Structure 1
Amino acid sequence: MSDFEQIGFGSDDDFTRNPEPRCPCLLLLDTSHSMQGRAISELNRGIVAFKDELAADSLAMKRVEIAVVTFGPVNIDSGFQTPDYWQPANFSTTGDTPMGQAIEQGLEMVRERKQRYRDNGISYYRPWIFLITDGAPTDSWQRAAQRVREGEDNKEFSFFAVGVANADMGILAQIAPRGPLKLDGLKFRELFMWLSNSLSRVSASNTGDRVALPPPTGWTEV
């Protein structure tokens, strides 16, 4: 049995109960030592607000699926689940910043989840992968960056990167083809409010439609 089968991505029975198209969103969260203190506290507050906002949208509750991978070291905190089943963890900080490994782990999770949709006849929106980090990779990241670029080029997913505090924006720019955004201070709550709003818009559309997202204002540095 593979690691992916063991972590519980949601049972196939759930697809029978809820055959709605799925909008998967994977969060790659830096929980290394450098995030300790107020940064990790604000991240935790933002995650709770994210869950609450999604829970207030009845359609998003059926269609959006959230998975979380933290790194420092790499850990799968939750497989893909709709917001009614997803229980955000209270993250703490430890370790270094194995960003390359975390990204590759996340890409495999997305690939596996898309296959699960296909096996069960579930349509889906292009997955979102959302990376948040305050540092630079402490492992090899070049292969992960290449896989991200190839995946974006093939429209396999949409990859977003957000740099916090002293994040190496130069390396993030090489990883994220869309270009990384810099968080204004520790406005994690505002970031996750934007993310929930964006996912709600996407999940309310038809799969394959182009959706106008709200501008990333109120949480990014100008």
Structure 2
Amino acid sequence: MPVGQPEFINNPEPRCPVILLLDNSGSMSGQPIQQLNQGLFAFKESVEQDALASLRVEVAIISFGPVKLVQDFVTIAQFVPERLEVEGVTPMGEAIEYALDLLEDRKETYKNNGILYYRPWIFLITDGAPTDSWQNAAQRVRNAEANRKICFFAVGVQGADISILSQISPSERPPLLLNGLDFKSMFVWLSQSVKQVSHSQAGTTQMVSLPPLGWGQVSS
């Protein structure tokens, strides 16, 4: 029997993986990137208040502008939000495909260590339009959603191309438009949602009931 990795020997709880796909292109400069950074700290603080979720929720961060793995998967206790700086353009297609590949690698690691896991979440936040090809990424998202392999959420900040986000997002979960720059409320909602998931039965593909959206709206 193979020897497990220390992180799973010390904490054999099922894992609830969450990838934050964060746009840090030039248009996010000023208040948007500042509020986004503050939101990440609110997310960590909120999840940490739940002892079970602290053991089960794992977060990874991928920024795009250019695509960069800011934080590989860690549980909330090990998660120290890195302050994002703005740079570059918006290679959203590449970022989404990178996230999907990272997720597949992590799921393989879980399986190799005998760790159960919840349906992973990918949470995309952007204020612009892709500056690269995104159609293949959209197809991969749709396929993964159809097979209940991921839960994909897209959030548009003012200036985001909602039309393209609608083509990437699954039809049953259209993109949401953030109210102003209320990143903090959004991240608190995200933390409450994944805490609920982490208290449910691991291995199921069913979605739990999520808290009401007070921070955004479906764009008509």
| Fold similarity call, TM over 0.5 | yes
Q: What residue number does 1:211 align with?
A: 208
Q: What residue number does 1:200 align with?
A: 195
- For 1:130-169, what aligned pairs fall within 5 Å after superposition? 130-169=123-162
CA drift at 1:210:
4.3
Q: Name which of 115, 121, 124 aligns with 2:108.
A: 115
Q: How many residues align?
A: 211
Q: Name which of 185, 191, 207 aligns with 1:190.
A: 185
Q: What residue number does 1:5 align with?
A: none
Q: Name which of 20, 25, 29 aligns with 1:32.
A: 25
Whole-Å separation in 2 of the counterparts to 1:17 and 1:120 = 12
Q: Name which of 107, 122, 126 aligns with 1:129.
A: 122
Whole-Å separation in 2 of the counterparts to 1:124 and 1:106 = 17
The one-letter code of the counterpart of 1:125 is Y
Whole-Å separation in 2 of the counterparts to 1:121 and 1:115 = 10
The one-letter code of the counterpart of 1:220 is G
Unmatched 5+ residue regions in structure 1?
1-10
Matched, 1:58 2:55: no
Whole-Å separation in 2 of the counterparts to 1:118 and 1:146 = 26
Matched, 1:81 2:74: yes
Whole-Å separation in 2 of the counterparts to 1:22 and 1:203 = 8
Q: Decide whether aligned partners of structure 1 residues 155 and 221 sit closer, same or farther in structure 2, where only a CA change above 3 A counts.
A: closer
Deviations 1:187-219 (A, max 9, x none): 0000000000000000011121541111212x1
SS in 1 for 2:78: coil
Q: CA RMSD in A?
A: 1.0
Whole-Å separation in 1 of the counterparts to 2:80 and 2:135 = 33
Whole-Å separation in 1 of the counterparts to 2:183 and 2:149 = 27
CA drift at 1:221:
3.6
The one-letter code of the counterpart of 2:196 is R
Q: What residue number does 1:6 align with?
A: none
Q: Which consecutive aligned stretches of 4+ in structure 1 deviate over 4 angstroms post-superposition?
A: none
- For 1:97-116, what aligned pairs fall within 5 Å after superposition? 97-116=90-109
CA drift at 1:56:
1.0
Q: Decide whether aligned partners of structure 1 residues 83 and 144 sit closer, same or farther in structure 2, where only a CA change above 3 A counts.
A: same
Unmatched 5+ residue regions in structure 2?
none
Normalised by the length of structure 1, the TM-score is 0.93
Q: What residue number does 1:220 align with?
A: 216
Report % sequence identity: 54
Whole-Å separation in 2 of the counterparts to 1:91 and 1:51 = 15
Normalised by the length of structure 2, the TM-score is 0.94
Q: Decide whether aligned partners of structure 1 residues 140 and 117 sit closer, same or farther in structure 2, where only a CA change above 3 A counts.
A: same
